[in-house]
Amino acid sequence: MINQKINELIVYAKKNLYLGLDDEYYAANRLLYLLKLNKFNKEVVSEELDFFEIINSILDYAYENKIIESNTVISRDAFEAKIVDCVLPRPSELTRIFKTKYKTGPLTATTFFHDFSKATNYIKTKRNEKNIQYTYDGKYVPLEITINLSKPEKDPKDIKKQALNKDKYPTCPLCMENVGVYQSTSLAPRSNHRVVSITLNHEKEEWGIQYSPYAYFNEHMIILKKEHSPMYVNERTFAELVDFINKFPQYLVGSNAGLPIVGGSILGHHHFQGGRYDFPIEKARVLRKYKRRKVEVEILDWPMAAIKVSSNNENALLDMVSDIYKAWYKYENQNIKIYSHTDEDHNTVTPILKLDGAKYNFYIILRNNYSTEEQPYGLYHPREELFHIKKENIGLIEVMGLAILPGRLVEELNLIEDCLLNNKDPKEYKELEKHLTWIESLKEMKINKDEIQAVMKQDIGHIFEQVLEDCNVFKYGTKEDLLRFIEKVV
Ligand SMILES: [Zn+2]
């Protein structure tokens, strides 16, 4: 049986993963080593192959034969990546194929790389399909909510193992050291991880692109500097984003702010996120519009302080974006609690760029990470009573109007429903502790049983809207303060 599965995997790889004719026995022998086998017989197998059926059979074999210690999702994922790696092209070959495809066009190249990353199951397509997605129609244009079920929550044992590991290699999850790495199940599976080299802003081959395994939106890509160096958001970043869009006009690209609290989770490694997706912010209504030579500046009707700069002219666009950034960087207004600097910088932006035909649309979201003893999470962070739904930093995906919520929420919502319908005491469930105030308010609403799930989803949407409003840097002032700020710049 296992011999047949190896044959099937090889045929699959020849069809979908660019496994060359001369690489067949080479790949088979690598698989034999992993599976502790010493013989491979070539067999004719059906052309109708299902990757998941093949890989699951091989993983079952590995567990039954004690090749993998545990049968958890994390352990299986790690070994699966190792198996798939045996039949993949080397990273440099992949970059070569990508560059050949790019000669036909940037869309051909990214479609190839995206399809490849799905075919290797690096992008967890099957799990992503289970994500719960809906829209919330509130005060602004509809916001989008995703409960992401594809990112497995880590096993506490694995987390402990990782915490014990002081001598970190790879330095961070975005480092090039991750390409093909396999250490233990405490790291995300990277054996089948591939990064394609690109040139950005005249830095030849110093950048890489990869797809996100958990695909928070369509063709969710990570664009990273190969060198492990801290994130920065300034004029140079804006130029890098423009250059990326010139090279990949089919994509949107953005950067998290470079400061703690208002930035992303990996500040130590400069990177952007991109993808092929229309975000709610693109449909936002316009509160005020200013026209300057070659450039339009719009203040958007958005829960956060959002400015859209549009132009067909790259230099005029970059000049205006930089002017806004520089003005915000030093903007201070203690009357409305905006403190730009203490012994460190507090003002920054989340920049996002997308093309609309020949026109660049640059979205600049103003951010501030000032915190006090009373508000240790920052003045412009979700208030603590909303933490039961969203506690993490509000990064560039959220500021564009898409909430990514953890998968555990699905079970928690079911449990809340069970408590409400069957008069169970939510206090008996540890995982519901953080939701108790919310559950009380749901109880008072006396919702009938067919509507509970819908009401909870709407509540979550409303909470997300409030979360974004909490991050609005002009929330202690008025819209006029924002308008006055922008009018001084344009
Ligand atoms: Zn790194």
Calculate mean pLDDT across residues 395-403: 97
Q: Are 131 and 214 in contact (CB under 8 A)?
A: no
Residue 160 pLDDT > 60: no
Q: In which band, very low, low, confident or very high, does the pLDDT at 266 lie, cut at 50, 70 and 90?
A: confident
Distance CA 386, CA 452 (A): 19
Q: Cβ(194)–Cβ(179) under 8 Å?
A: yes
CA of 398 to the centre of ligand 1 (A): 23
CA–centroid distance, 228 to ligand 1, in Å, is 4
Rounded CA-CA distance 180/320 in Å is 42
> How many angstroms separate the alpha carbon of residue 221 from the centre of ligand 1?
16
Task: Convert the pLDDT of each residue in 457-485 to its tens digit.
Answer: 999 999 999 999 999 999 999 999 999 99
Mean pLDDT value of segment 127-142? 94
Q: Are strands 143-148 and 359-368 parallel, antiparallel or unpaired?
A: unpaired
| pLDDT category of residue 188 using cuts at 50, 70 and 90 | confident
Mean pLDDT of 47-70: 96
User: 405: pLDDT confidence band, cut at 50, 70 and 90?
Assistant: very high
pLDDT digits (tens, 9 = 90+) for 369-386: 999 999 999 999 999 999
Whole-number Å distance, alpha carbon 227 to ligand 1 midpoint, is: 7
User: What's the 268 CA to ligand 1 centre distance in angstroms?
Assistant: 7
User: How far is the centre of ligand 1, averaged over its atoms, from the C-alpha of 167 (Å)?
Assistant: 14
Regarding predicted confidence, which is higher, 153 or 437?
Answer: 437
The amino acid that residue 102 corresponds to is Y
pLDDT at 112: 98
Q: Report how far ligand 1's centroid is from the alpha carbon of 75 (Å).
A: 24
pLDDT surpasses 70 at 186: no
The DSSP result for 396-440, as a single string, is: HHHHTTEEEEETHHHHHHHHHHHHHHTT--GGG-GGGGGGHHHHH
What is the whole-number distance in angstroms between the Cα of residue 230 and the centre of ligand 1? 8
- Give the Å distance between the CA of 193 and the centre of ligand 1: 15
pLDDT greater than 80 at residue 158: no
Domain coordinates of the chain in residue numbers?
2-88
Using DSSP's 3-state secondary structure scheme, residue 382 falls into coil
Average pLDDT over residues 415-437: 95
Q: Tell me the CA–centroid distance for residue 316 and ligand 1, in Å.
A: 33
Tell me how far apart the alpha carbons of residues 54 and 280 are, in angstroms, rounded to a whole number: 39
Q: What pLDDT is attached to residue 338? A: 97
Cα of 398 vs its chain's centroid, Å: 10
Q: How far apart are alpha carbons 341 and 124 in whole angstroms? A: 42
Per-residue pLDDT band for 393 (boundaries 50, 70, 90) equals confident
Give CA–CA dist 380/336, Å, rounded.
12
What's the pTM? 0.94
What letter would DSSP give residue 282? G
Mean pLDDT within 336-343 = 96
| C-alpha 303 chain-centroid distance | 21
Q: Report the mean per-residue pLDDT for the chain.
A: 94
CA of 369 to the centre of ligand 1 (A): 23
